[in-house]
């Protein structure tokens, strides 16, 4: 009987065990919370060649996670839109000369039989070189003003509209793969009446389509549940790529964006290099880098809308003769996807998740962003041992 514990001793022993169990649970919970906290900041690197659509993608993230732009921000974008309009037309005029196209004389607006022309500064409508020089002068004068709300004067709008509908400029635009032109040229030049209004305020779509060359580093952050995503965008031009390596450390995943529509275009920096081939080479070098041997990749095959627009021109097989599939845009897109996926390094433990995107389409980006965020989060939790 002496070996039996009294009821009090049994109660004390039970309380001790319960206290130890609670302490164990508290320690485990604390360790779990600490582990979870370490993985709540998710760093994503957004890479790709120049003009792939990375900046547009980040603007969409801003709209999706922070809401609309303020009046002050829209005012700043107004100047960018006006600059883009003028830059697009000047690029078209330069290309007309570069392509050696004869300037087909067409009657000036003042000879149109309607209201007289407001373009008082244009005396000779038959000389392309003079017209380009005068438009550049007007653009420099307009863009050189400081602390002034930027407006497109009615006479500039009239001149731009007349040029945009000129047969020579139409021919130049149809050959846009042979020189450098903003993808949004037609979008803006078809909206001159609206953009030329004194009360013009850029819409979300105007802002998304605006173009400013990215130099340096742009970081965008957003929350998904309890997790903060940091997307770091580094300029994609060749001159900017030497900066990339400084941001390779502690990356959760790499998002690589490529413009599918650029299969028949050449680099701004090197007219002998096909843009899509440059993206393939760049993607291969990054995916095979020792920095990312255990890093997942997200491949965003962007500008599918522009790819479809170009498809009817029949230039795809000339640029990619290896393609022997059906004469369908979707099959060609899948072919390009396979070209990128075939570059996977054999010895690295990496995953690739591919998505077709149109960065100017908010709903498309919303869907893709949700899928990408969920995929990356699942991987983060699994790697941290927080997911079965």
| Residues flagged as binding site | 51-56, 183-184, 208-214, 233-237, 302-305, 359
338 catalytic per annotation: no
CB-CB neighbours of 347 under 10 Å: 6
Phi, psi of 156 (to 5 degrees): -70, -45
CA angle 28, 32, 38 (to 5 degrees): 150
Assess contact for 134 and 117: CB atoms under 8 A. no
CB-CB neighbours of 126 under 10 Å: 11
Nearest to 209 by CA among 232, 193, 223, 190: 190
Residues 6+ apart with CB under 8 A from 314: none
| 3-state DSSP assignment of residue 16 | helix
User: Which DSSP state fits 321?
Assistant: T
Q: Token pair for residue 76?
A: 């700043």
d(CA 231, CA 224) in angstroms, rounded, equals 13
Catalytic pick from 211, 220, 278, 379? 211
Nearest to 283 by CA among 344, 336, 199: 344
- Return the bridge partners of 46, or none: 233, 255
Residues of the binding site for Mg(2+): 55, 214
Residue with structure tokens 């038959």? 126
In terms of residues, how long is the chain?
Answer: 388
Catalytic pick from 51, 264, 278, 379? 51
Catalytic pick from 56, 252, 357, 360? 56
Residue with structure tokens 């690295």? 348
51 catalytic per annotation: yes
Residues of the binding site for GTP: 51-56, 183-184, 208-214, 233-237, 302-305, 359
d(CA 303, CA 261) in angstroms, rounded, equals 6
Catalytic pick from 87, 118, 136, 237? 237
Catalytic pick from 60, 74, 176, 233? 233
Alpha-helix residue ranges (DSSP H) falling in the chain:
7-38, 54-66, 71-98, 128-143, 154-164, 167-174, 185-189, 192-195, 204-209, 275-287, 304-311, 316-319, 329-341, 362-383
CA 227 to chain centre: 23
Q: Annotated catalytic sites, by residue?
A: 51, 56, 211, 233, 237
């Amino acid at each position: 009987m002496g070996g039996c514990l009294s009821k009090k001793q049994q109660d004390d022993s039970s309380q001790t065990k319960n206290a130890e169990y609670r302490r164990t649970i508290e320690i485990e919970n604390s360790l779990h919370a600490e582990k979870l906290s370490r993985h709540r900041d998710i760093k994503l690197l957004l890479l790709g060649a120049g003009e792939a659509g990375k900046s547009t993608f980040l603007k969409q993230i801003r709209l999706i996670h922070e809401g609309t732009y303020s009046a002050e921000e829209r005012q700043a974008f107004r100047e960018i839109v006006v600059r883009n309009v003028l830059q697009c037309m000047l690029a078209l005029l330069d290309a007309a000369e570069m392509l050696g196209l004869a300037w087909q004389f067409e009657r000036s607006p003042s000879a149109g039989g309607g209201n007289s022309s407001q373009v008082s500064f244009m005396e000779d409508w038959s000389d392309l070189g003079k017209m380009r020089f005068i438009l550049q002068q007007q653009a420099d004068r307009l863009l050189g003003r400081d602390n002034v709300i930027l407006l497109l004067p009615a006479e500039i709008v009239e001149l731009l509209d007349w040029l945009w509908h000129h047969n020579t400029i139409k021919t130049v635009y149809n050959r846009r793969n042979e020189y450098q032109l903003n993808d949004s040229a037609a979008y803006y030049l078809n909206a001159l009446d609206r953009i030329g209004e004194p009360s013009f305020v850029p819409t979300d779509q105007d802002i998304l389509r605006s173009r400013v060359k990215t130099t340096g580093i742009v970081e965008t952050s957003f929350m998904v549940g309890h997790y903060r995503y940091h997307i770091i965008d580094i300029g994609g031009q060749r001159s900017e790529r030497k900066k990339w390596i400084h941001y390779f450390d502690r990356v959760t995943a790499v998002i690589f964006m490529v413009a599918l529509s650029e299969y028949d275009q050449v680099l701004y920096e090197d007219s002998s290099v096909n843009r899509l081939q440059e993206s393939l080479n760049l993607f291969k070098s990054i995916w095979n880098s020792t920095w990312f041997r255990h890093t997942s990749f997200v491949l965003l095959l962007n500008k599918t809308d522009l790819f479809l627009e170009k498809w009817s021109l029949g230039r795809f097989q000339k640029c990619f003769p290896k393609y022997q599939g059906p004469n369908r845009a979707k099959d060609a897109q899948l072919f390009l996807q396979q070209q990128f996926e075939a570059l996977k390094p054999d010895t690295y433990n990496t995953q690739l998740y591919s998505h077709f995107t149109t960065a100017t389409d908010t709903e498309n980006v919303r869907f893709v962003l949700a899928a990408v965020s969920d995929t990356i989060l699942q991987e983060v939790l699994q790697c941290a041992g927080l997911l079965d």
